C-alpha cells in the first residue's frame, strides 16, 4: 500500500506541470550515453511518447559522433578533429549523412513509434528547415602571430532556420526527429553541431524549453558542486575563469542562443539517469542545471 501511495503522490506532484506545459513545445537534444545503452534508449523513447500523450509537443535533435567514429574506423578511415570540430572531407560527409540521416535517425523514430508515438525523421535539408554556410574558424599562428584560417571541410554553421515543416508535422500530431545536416550555398552537404541546431530550432519555434541530454550531471563550480540555476551574467564569469570549457561550451552557447530567441528556460541534464526528462520536467527540484535569462 505504501508503494501505491507514493506513486499517487508522484502523479499529484506532476499535475501542475502537466497543466502548465500542455500544448507547449519542448526541443530536446538527444546525445551521449543515452543514445548507446539499450535500457536508456528505450526509457528515452517511452519518455518522449509520454510527453506527447499528455499534450506536450517534443521536437528531437540528435547527435551521433561515436557511431560515426565507429563506422569510419570499420571503413579504415581515422576520425580527425581540430578544436573539437570534426574535419569533414567528401568521403567523411557521405558517412556522416548515412549514419545521422539514415541509421541513427530511423532507429530513434522506430523506438518512439514502438511505444505508441508518431515520430517522423527529418534533416536540415527537408523543407529547407536549415539554411547553412561553411564554417570557418581562425587561430593565431604561433610563428607569425597573425590569424590563419583553418579549413574544417564540409562543416556548417546555421544562417537561418525555417520552422514551417516542423509546425506542419506538429499540427498533425507527429514528433519530429531531426538529424543535424543541411546544405550550403553550393548545394554541398554540411555537418552541423547538434547542440547549436537544437538551440536555433528552439529559438525559431519560441519553444517553452530547450533540454540538452549529456553525460554529466550539469554545470559544476570549481568545487565540483552542481549549479542548479545560472543566468547569462554568471555564465560569462564561469567562462572567463575556465569553469565552463571544452565540450560544455557549445551546449551553453546553444542555451544562450535559445534564450535570446525567446525560449523561456533551458536545461542541461544527465541523460545517464533513467527517465531524466521526466525528473527534470515534472519535479520541483529537477536534476540538472537550468539556464535562464
Give the CATH number for residue 75.
3.40.1160.10
pLDDT interval class at 194 (50, 70, 90)? very high
Looking at the domain assignment, is residue 240 inside a domain? yes
Strands 209-214 and 25-30: parallel
Looking at the domain assignment, is residue 203 inside a domain? yes
Looking at the domain assignment, is residue 5 inside a domain? no
End-to-end Cα, the chain, rounded Å? 44
Higher per-residue pLDDT: 3 or 267: 267
Looking at the domain assignment, is residue 10 inside a domain? no
pLDDT of 80: 83
Higher per-residue pLDDT: 202 or 243: 202
Looking at the domain assignment, is residue 102 inside a domain? yes
- pLDDT tens for 117-170 read 999 999 999 999 999 999 888 776 666 666 778 888 899 999 999 999 999 999
Looking at the domain assignment, is residue 202 inside a domain? yes
| Separation CA 35–CA 44 (nearest Å) | 9
Question: Which residue has 546525445 as its cell numbers?
Answer: 31
Looking at the domain assignment, is residue 218 inside a domain? yes
| Separation CA 176–CA 209 (nearest Å) | 16
pLDDT of 3: 65
Name the pTM for this structure: 0.91
Strands 175-179 and 57-62: parallel
Total domain count for the chain? Answer: 1
Question: How are strands ordered across the β-sheet holding 25-30?
Answer: 119-123, 175-179, 57-62, 25-30, 209-214, 265-270, 289-292, 229-231
Q: With contact defined as beta carbons under 8 Å apart, do 156 and 132 qualify?
A: yes
Domain coverage including residue 147: 16-292
Looking at the domain assignment, is residue 1 inside a domain? no
Amino acid at each position: 500500500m505504501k508503494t501505491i501511495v507514493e506513486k499517487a503522490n508522484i502523479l499529484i506532484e506532476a499535475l501542475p506541470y502537466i497543466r502548465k506545459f500542455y500544448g507547449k513545445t519542448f526541443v530536446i537534444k538527444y546525445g551521449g550515453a543515452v543514445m548507446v545503452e539499450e535500457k536508456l534508449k528505450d526509457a528515452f523513447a517511452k519518455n518522449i511518447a509520454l510527453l506527447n500523450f499528455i499534450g506536450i509537443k517534443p521536437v528531437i535533435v540528435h547527435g551521433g559522433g561515436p557511431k560515426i567514429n565507429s563506422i569510419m574506423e570499420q571503413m579504415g578511415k581515422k576520425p580527425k578533429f581540430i578544436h573539437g570540430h570534426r574535419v569533414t572531407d567528401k568521403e567523411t560527409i557521405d558517412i556522416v549523412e548515412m549514419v545521422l540521416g539514415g541509421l541513427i535517425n530511423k532507429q530513434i523514430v522506430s523506438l518512439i513509434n514502438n511505444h505508441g508515438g508518431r515520430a517522423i525523421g527529418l534533416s536540415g535539408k527537408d523543407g529547407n528547415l536549415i539554411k547553412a554556410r561553411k564554417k570557418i574558424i581562425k587561430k593565431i599562428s604561433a610563428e607569425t602571430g597573425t590569424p590563419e584560417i583553418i579549413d574544417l571541410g564540409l562543416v556548417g554553421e546555421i544562417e537561418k532556420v525555417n520552422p514551417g515543416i516542423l509546425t506542419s508535422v506538429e499540427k498533425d500530431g507527429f514528433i519530429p526527429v531531426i538529424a543535424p545536416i543541411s546544405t550550403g550555398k553550393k548545394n554541398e552537404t554540411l555537418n552541423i553541431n547538434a547542440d547549436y541546431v537544437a538551440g536555433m530550432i528552439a529559438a525559431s519555434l519560441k519553444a517553452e524549453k530547450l533540454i540538452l541530454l549529456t553525460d554529466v550531471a550539469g554545470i559544476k563550480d570549481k568545487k565540483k558542486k552542481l549549479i542548479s540555476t545560472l543566468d547569462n551574467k554568471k555564465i560569462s564569469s564561469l567562462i572567463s575563469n575556465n569553469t565552463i570549457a571544452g565540450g560544455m561550451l557549445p551546449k551553453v552557447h546553444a542555451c544562450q542562443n535559445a534564450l535570446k530567441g525567446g525560449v523561456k528556460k533551458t536545461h542541461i541534464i544527465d541523460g545517464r539517469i533513467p527517465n531524466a526528462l521526466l525528473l527534470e520536467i515534472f519535479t520541483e527540484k529537477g536534476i540538472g542545471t537550468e539556464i535562464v535569462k
